[in-house]
Structure 1
């Protein structure tokens, strides 16, 4: 079996690459999001590999107990590649799939049992190995022939410690299991398409929004009536709206000490200027002060100082928690103090120092994570997980004018139960920022779906929705 990995920005592009290079009979082994895109592992010559694997299966000989012999599973079934979306097979074909899948699972369990004593023996000293083998032989010789099951276990446990063929067979079995589970998932998806095509259409639209597969399934499971597709669609949008948490323009209306955090390039400094200008227009410029903790880049401080000069508000740069406390004491008479933090990647080792500065600088600091809406869901999840240590009061969505879908960021904020405070969709200060409204955000996501007018094809639906349960079992 020839295996090859393909990486692309989206599933449809990756599937097209597989079809062009390996042909329509290629089999999708795995599908996962990785490094800002989708990685697909595909294979060809699956039939030959399956026949060879069946021929090379080790046969356990138990001469003294022929009644316990189990019939060998029939591995002659030839599954179709998931790139060819075939109609669902009859129940007999599905039962045959399940029989093969169960036999493969049993083989993998046997291999796992055999691995445990090997791992234990490898931890012992080299000098102790001959003694252990000798004792094992003596115990085996002392056992009567009326206990064949124990003898079989001993043979399995005495498998070679570094047998490449053993490891290769185990790897092939695991791949085979994944293939069969993908095929069964495809059968289930095809059966759903025949039994309830309205549900399939709803899932297709939800996927078009950019929502995660798990979120799409969760929304669809809450719809009871699929008779009218449009009505079901509006119900789904209403459910998404109800799941979204938003704040009530807290920063502009109430003020306080606010820290904007997030990775590099999400627009923290520009957002600070927008919020400062909005607050100054409503409450007066004398009520605003700006602080930056970005002492690493001179350009960052200069940019914020330029905004401060234009707005007529003071700007202070701090390097640690002591300087931050001192600056906050100086600005204690200000109704709004905005803190612009240094832009760092979520894996930057300096983030710990940044967190310490904010957490110990003053207990009254409220933090908001900035999330770029044009980043995929996996990257946003990592950002939220990293900055959760600050116990943020909410988030601000930026770069809405640069994204083609909002489903990824919506799934993340709903899953993380992170309230959305503001939406930023441009570079103009202070025009391009407004308080978040759940209804408006979902409506905007639906409008982007209509503008793009790209329907999710059947291959992508089978790969994404049908592969959820398959990947969970590997």
Structure 2
């Protein structure tokens, strides 16, 4: 049996390396996330019995070594004489010699007792620690193999469900949500029918809010990371509202003092639409602008785009929490964002207490499932979607059924069972994925 360790930027490239080096009969023993990518341990000519024999041998060696270490630490004691009897025999002659010289003490002698240590410190033998680590690694490998066997059983029992999971993963859905959605698949269902049923469940799980911005207006602030399309989305909403209610009902404010050209871009939109715009560089400027535009039906606020790790976000969120003007915050997220980063964005911007979210750049991704997956898992209501640069044509109310039908039906990428078993084995490991 040949065992080899592989390193790659992602799982797909790692599996390709395994196939090229060890062939299609290779068995994945373990996979772990490391700095810079993923580590895969794979084997060729896999012999399960040999692995079990090796584990038994390692455990036997560990037990023998542990016994040896413990024996070395024991005190050498002569057990030929019972302790109490030996004590009496040694004590009696000495007592007869010392007793005549003893006189009563004038004051009782206080017994000095050493203070115990507050905390015991245990030092583990590095060799024993190394053996334990090796055993833990082998247990992990065995667990992986058992999970792969379990996955093989599931493949045989319900192959349609496996194909549905493949499609969900290929379209960008998270592992956790893919498994949950696939629970709706009945074993005897045809693949295409099962796929449609699964999409219907996903559509029912997608939170879509009843949006009245274009009808009623309000004070609306768009928040989100840099580059997600906040300024362009504001232009689309403003243009659509202008078409319904006229330019005199709209005003624009920007608090973006960090991005080069941010003021100019929004200023150009305001000039084209014929609506007023103010730049708020300070909290005082912001309050003054809101006061000046209090008679407007719709005030749109373009905020600075920040990384979810930017410490300035706290100040921005504080600025937008103004009970006097009842500001509604909407989080703009890009469909091109990787699912894990998107979940982090949604979690971080939760401090802004967004009323809903706007999904932008749907036309720029081949895997919209990543975005929809994050929205479903985080249950943040979807208010608008955008799918292009045209103003205002590329702004739409979200329809869950249409989103699933139009953006999830992507060509199926042929992932083999090795890839799926690596992605999904021991799915409890991905409880937070």
TM-score range, shorter chain: 0.7 to 0.9
Preserved CA contact (<8 Å) 2:328 2:354: yes
1:162-181 equivalences in 2 (<5 Å)? 163-181=125-143
Q: Deviations over 1:361-395 (max 9, x none)?
A: 75511111111111111010000000001111111
2:17 equivalent in structure 1 = 17
- Taking a change above 3 Å as real, the CA distance of residues 205 and 284 of structure 1, as seen in their structure-2 partners, is same
- Structure with more of its chain in helix, by fraction: 1
The offset of 1:223, in angstroms, is: 3.6
1:196-345 equivalences in 2 (<5 Å)? 196-224=158-186, 226-345=188-307
1:187 partnered with 2:149: yes
- Counterparts of 1:402 and 1:372, CA distance in 2: 9
1:29 partnered with 2:30: yes
1:468 partnered with 2:427: yes
Task: Report the more deviating stretch, 227-236 or 188-197.
Answer: 227-236
1:435-454 equivalences in 2 (<5 Å)? 435-447=397-409, 449-450=410-411, 453-454=412-413
2:359 equivalent in structure 1 = 397
- Counterparts of 1:374 and 1:181, CA distance in 2: 35
SS of the residue corresponding to residue 173 of structure 1 reads helix
2:312 equivalent in structure 1 = 350
- Counterparts of 1:344 and 1:232, CA distance in 2: 41
The offset of 1:6, in angstroms, is: 2.0
Preserved CA contact (<8 Å) 1:294 1:340: yes
The offset of 1:225, in angstroms, is: 5.4
- Counterparts of 1:407 and 1:44, CA distance in 2: 33
1:58 equivalent in structure 2 = 63
Q: Deviations over 1:305-324 (max 9, x none)?
A: 11111111111111343332
The offset of 1:275, in angstroms, is: 0.9
Preserved CA contact (<8 Å) 1:377 1:411: yes
2:95 equivalent in structure 1 = none
The offset of 1:28, in angstroms, is: 4.4
1:42 equivalent in structure 2 = 41
Normalization by structure 2: what TM-score?
0.78
The offset of 1:207, in angstroms, is: 2.3
SS of the residue corresponding to residue 370 of structure 1 reads strand
Q: Deviations over 1:324-358 (max 9, x none)?
A: 22211110111111111101111111111111111
Preserved CA contact (<8 Å) 2:29 2:145: no
The offset of 1:40, in angstroms, is: 3.6
Preserved CA contact (<8 Å) 1:29 1:175: no
- Taking a change above 3 Å as real, the CA distance of residues 19 and 53 of structure 1, as seen in their structure-2 partners, is farther
Normalization by structure 1: what TM-score?
0.72
Preserved CA contact (<8 Å) 1:260 1:368: yes
Q: Deviations over 1:205-229 (max 9, x none)?
A: 2223321121122112234453332
Preserved CA contact (<8 Å) 2:173 2:369: yes
SS of the residue corresponding to residue 172 of structure 1 reads helix
- Taking a change above 3 Å as real, the CA distance of residues 361 and 189 of structure 1, as seen in their structure-2 partners, is same
1:417 to 379, 399, 402: 379
SS of the residue corresponding to residue 59 of structure 1 reads helix
- Taking a change above 3 Å as real, the CA distance of residues 59 and 439 of structure 1, as seen in their structure-2 partners, is same
SS of the residue corresponding to residue 392 of structure 1 reads coil
- Counterparts of 2:363 and 2:302, CA distance in 1: 22
1:457 partnered with 2:416: yes
1:5 equivalent in structure 2 = 7
- Taking a change above 3 Å as real, the CA distance of residues 444 and 170 of structure 1, as seen in their structure-2 partners, is farther
Q: Which runs of 5+ in 2 are unaligned?
A: 84-119
- Counterparts of 2:413 and 2:5, CA distance in 1: 30
| Number of aligned positions between the proteins | 379
- Counterparts of 1:347 and 1:160, CA distance in 2: 40
The offset of 1:61, in angstroms, is: 7.5
Q: Which runs of 5+ in 1 are unaligned?
A: 64-133, 146-157
- Counterparts of 2:296 and 2:197, CA distance in 1: 45
The offset of 1:34, in angstroms, is: 8.6
Question: What's the RMSD between the two structures over aligned residues?
Answer: 3.3
Larger radius of gyration: 2
The offset of 1:250, in angstroms, is: 2.3
Preserved CA contact (<8 Å) 1:318 1:324: yes
2:345 to 377, 380, 383: 383
